[in-house]
Amino acid sequence: MLPNEPLRLDFLPWEYKRTASDADRDRQAERQSRLGGSVRLAADVYVAESAAVYCDELTMGERSYIAAHAYVTGNIALGSDSTINPFSAVRGNVTIGDGVRIGAHTSLLAFNHGTAPGQPIFKQPHTALGITIGDDVWIGSNVTILDGVTVGPHTIIGAGAVVTKNVPANSVAAGNPARVLRSRTGSSMSGDLRTQLTAFAAKARSQVDDVLARCWDGERFVDRPDLGHEPAVRPWCDAIEIADLLVRRTPLGHTRDDLVRRLRHRQDPKTGLVAPGDLSDSGLDLPDDSKLSVLEGPAGYHVLCVGYALQLLGSNFEHPIDTTFTFAELDNLPWARRSWSAGSGIDHLGTAIARNLLDHDESGPLEALMGWLVTRVDPTTGAWGHQHPDDGWLQVVNGFYRLTRGTYAQFGLPLPYPEQAVATVLAHSNDRRMFTGDNYNSCNILDVIHPLWLARKQTTYGEQDGRRWAEEQLRAILPRWVDGAGFAFAPDGTDDRAIPGLQGTEMWLAIIWLLSDYLGLSDTLGYRPRGVHRPEPLVTVHTTRTPLV
């Protein structure tokens, strides 16, 4: 070797185990002896002579290497068969799994400066959350991964990417900032699920008229036939949603104008709410002491189902909805034990505000409502309400869905604590007692997948676990479609909710879309919800818009 000639093995260290001479091994042993800090090195590792390695702690698994001119500091754990290639920087608290390839000129920077005004950057305090790289990851050249990021196993990060958020397992991500482009699980998961979803959607579409006709008693839509239910508004709305979703028309035998007339006929001119009862021509006939409330009862839910049904029919509410409230009323909702009920009240109120904006261009108390929500959310759970020994996180998560559907999702606003919310929802999803028998129902599944789907607009935290759960639920529900009847609300239940009906069918069709979309498979269905469970905001609010109040 000529004087000052770079060592070949410094740039091609993967050759070390196979080609190193005795002299090369002696030289490498001497190089390793000069490493400072706490060092634990397995057999056949290689540390380039020209690499700047100044670690407090350094662990290297078998056949791993640090190549020429790499800059490595801090507490570094490098698994077996993993590589830090030439000119890369790996600094801070960094844990790297087995079989990882870190391309040349890549930086893993597990620390950051504060950015508060009024103080020079060099005097700002440091933060150090750490970086974790899973097994079997390929990180391309010129990638930058920032502090706090976890890259899931079996993932590829494209060259030049700037990774600022977690990347789920089995993903291909690229760009600045990096985003997931596709999944690497296509052959094992997507193939058979795509086939199942395509077949399911075709079957449901071909049977939609039978499903709806089964629940028409000759005068009105009922949720489930032969159960003697009182006349109600919701089955009409569910029928309209199902027909629109699958075949983009009104239920067979019903005209758009007649359905609009029936729906608008039930609205109370004074409160703007839709009264319970039948969609007949007999008038509202409300008793003098009747009190309709947007925060509770069926009249509140009718803001959702009737408002969206009218929108699907190309119409809207005739009268504005009364959205006046006090903070005391919101505080007094049953957050301590019945968060679902409390969250549904917020859903109704938020939807009423959105409807007034959309249908009547009326400003409303949106800023007051959102301000109240921000000050009441628990930053440790990202949710509202409290866990209870009897049912764990059930009420909290179900309330979270209803509350955020009618506010954050409906107005296109970011969740206040998305990672904490995902952690809470996933903790609930692991409580098996809440997803068996009567508890395996469309509400409980919807109330998990919608929050996971919504939070992923802001974070990939927990996505690997979320994807596993979503696939499990899809595989469970698709076979439970009953030919000519649709889905039951609780298909494994023990009461009459196990009988297929309109509510179960409408909800499960939307759930299947959300589960499929979370897995990147919704294109196979050929339908997209446009009603209560639509993925797009009803009204988009920008931070620079004119105040509503």
Percent of the chain beyond pLDDT 90? 73
SS3 157: strand
Average pLDDT over residues 327-347: 95
Tens digit of pLDDT for each residue in 518-531?
999 999 999 999 99
Average pLDDT over residues 483-502: 95
Rounded Cα distance between 500 and 53, Å, is 66
Least confident segment among 215-219, 257-261, 459-463, 541-545 = 541-545
SS3 271: coil
| pLDDT number for residue 549 | 32
Going by C-alpha positions, the residue among 431, 318, 338, 330 that lies closest to residue 374 is 330
280 falls in which pLDDT band (50, 70, 90)?
low
| pLDDT number for residue 191 | 62
User: How do strand 71-78 and strand 83-84 relate by DSSP bridges?
Assistant: unpaired
Stated as kind and residue range, the H or E segment containing 74 is: strand 71-78
User: How do strand 171-174 and strand 179-183 relate by DSSP bridges?
Assistant: antiparallel
| pLDDT number for residue 545 | 39
pTM of the model: 0.67
Model confidence at 548: pLDDT above 80: no
Model confidence at 120: pLDDT above 90: no
| pLDDT number for residue 443 | 96
| pLDDT number for residue 441 | 96
Q: Which CA distances in Å does 428 have to 351, 358, 396, 402, 408?
A: 26, 35, 9, 16, 21
Burial class (CB in 10 A: 0-12, 13-18, 19+), 5: exposed
Check residues 242 and 229 and name the one with the higher pLDDT: 242
369 falls in which pLDDT band (50, 70, 90)?
very high
What secondary structure does DSSP assign to 193-237, as a single string? HHHHHHHHHHHHHHHHHHHHHHTB-SSSB-SSTTS-PPP-SHHHH
Least confident segment among 223-232, 241-250, 349-358 = 223-232
| pLDDT number for residue 189 | 46
| pLDDT number for residue 437 | 87
Model confidence at 542: pLDDT above 70: no
Would you tell me the crossing angle of helices 297-312 and 339-360 to the nearest 10 degrees? Answer: 40
Average pLDDT over residues 25-35: 93
